[in-house]
Structure 1
């Protein structure tokens, strides 16, 4: 039984969600650690999305201090207390949360990205860092090797890119434009195209380009001595890869609704990914 409050769990990984299936295929003795990291990621992202800029800034500042408290074994938040109590080894690895916070700062600042390389660097912080940290804790008491670290971050980049495609219109309404500016220029797109109730054919072409990049990131890495520990990350990556396929099959109609995988697609996709991991 998790020591985290039900309200936090339901915001983090509600039953039937993609994170729910990632947790389902996590090692039982590490499941609450993975859940705690997803909860922290949720809290940080929601902090950056606060309606008030001052409130968002204050909450992110608190999370910076809480990350330092976690490293110094003085955590206050229920999720960081779980990590403090259950994680072993070098506590400095929790510095990785500062990269997640850097990604949230970019969200709060409504930063734009000139090209694909800049977008990927953002996704490495916003999505890759948390998967890297999950991988590091899953291999404990061992130490994460460089190949596995890079693989986990790469899958996290693809997961974040898939979210950007899915949430395009809502993000644009919130003032966040994640598509690279050179991609928008190449397809003669303006911000209004991202907020429109119908997806312009030129925007569909741009989204197809992001999907190709995301799919390449989500490709399973070569097998290594530690990759067997990445099963929950593989499952989450496979679900987002399937989500991208589903969005493409729906002709990138991300304007009229938030496209999600169906109730049968998720467990089947997760089971197959777990079998291959």
Structure 2
């Protein structure tokens, strides 16, 4: 069982300023994520913003235009920052607000910081230009860049003390991270191709005649691009179904946060399924009103109740 530590009732001005910075980064750069964490109480929302701001820094290094050797050095700088956080060596008046907020979060909550090391490892895989022959190969990458973040986030959410099966919460959080990442990969397939990256497994691409890649706003000639997308959508849906078993293990507001974030991606997956070729023309997204609806649905607890009913039927 994972329990969130009761946060301090008094937070110093420098720490509050650091959290405000992280929340600004989150609001500006992660609108889907921001919709979900709005549903959390203030201490958990601040902590999730700190985790996002650190993760955004790592991702920005990997996605930037600097030479790879400079990127590698900067990634090791972020790893050194994690060491300072673990060692309690970040002061409240440190000039890096992300460091201050992350250090305070690590004091407040039982966050497994090793998951952020895994994120750095995943971005290093991008720097090496790794490609993936099979889904099992791609899962390793997805677990680094997304599954690990699910497990880290669980340290903030905590699990309900009397929740049956709470020992499996990290597994479900990891699986939900895989579902989100696979959805991201489908959404960004053209953008990634323009950056010289291919994430979908090579054996899947070959099966559907898509090995030529996605450098054009139309499918490769003679390919079954729609078949490829629908195949990956089914895989993502199975991951969502398994990962959603996390919801009944969380308190109401944490469950609402997860349901909102995951719900936005599930609806994005629906759009991609309806019009597969849209991902080759540009980034598919949801309008704000639809994201707001998903957030309200998450807060209502409907998804959690549905998962609970399915679990009860399965046990019966």
Q: Same fold (TM over 0.5)?
A: yes
Could you tell me how far 1:48 is from its partner in structure 2?
Answer: 1.0
Aligned 1:118-157 pairs, distance under 5 A? 118-139=137-158, 145-157=166-178
Structure 1 match to 2:287: 262
Gaps of 5+ in 2: 1-12, 305-316
Larger mean CA deviation between 74-83 and 179-188 belongs to: 74-83
- The yes-or-no answer on 1:22 pairing with 2:40 is no
- The structure with the largest alpha-carbon Rg is 2
Check whether the contact 2:260–2:298 (CA below 8 A) recurs between aligned residues. yes
* Match in the other structure for 2:219: 199
Distance 1:92 1:33 in 2: 10
TM-score, structure 2 normalization:
0.78
1:35-62 C-alpha deviation (Å, 9 max, x unpaired): 1111111111111112221221121111
1-structure distance, mates of 2:31, 2:203: 34
Q: CA RMSD in A?
A: 2.7
Using a 3 Å threshold, how does the CA distance of structure 1 residues 99 and 221 change in structure 2: closer, same or farther? same
Cα deviation, residue 197, structure 1: 1.4
- Classify the secondary structure of the residue corresponding to 1:264: helix
Q: Say yes or no: does 1:210 pair with 2:224.
A: no
Change (3 A) 1:246 1:124: same
Q: Which residue of 1 aligns with 2:132?
A: 113
- Matches for 1:1-277 after TM superposition, within 5 Å: 3-4=17-18, 9-14=23-28, 17-51=31-65, 52-75=67-90, 77-88=96-107, 93-139=112-158, 145-191=166-212, 193-200=213-220, 202-219=224-241, 220-221=244-245, 224-226=248-250, 228=252, 229-276=254-301, 277=304
| Partners of 2:158 and 2:183 in 1: CA distance | 26
Task: Compute the displacement of 1:71 (Å).
Answer: 0.8
Looking at structure 2, the residues matched to 88 and 271 of structure 1 have their Cα atoms a distance apart, in angstroms, of 31
Question: Displacement of 1:20 after TM fit?
Answer: 1.3
Cα deviation code 1:116-141 (max 9, x no counterpart): 11112211111111121111122289
Q: Identify unmatched segments of 5+ residues in structure 1.
A: none
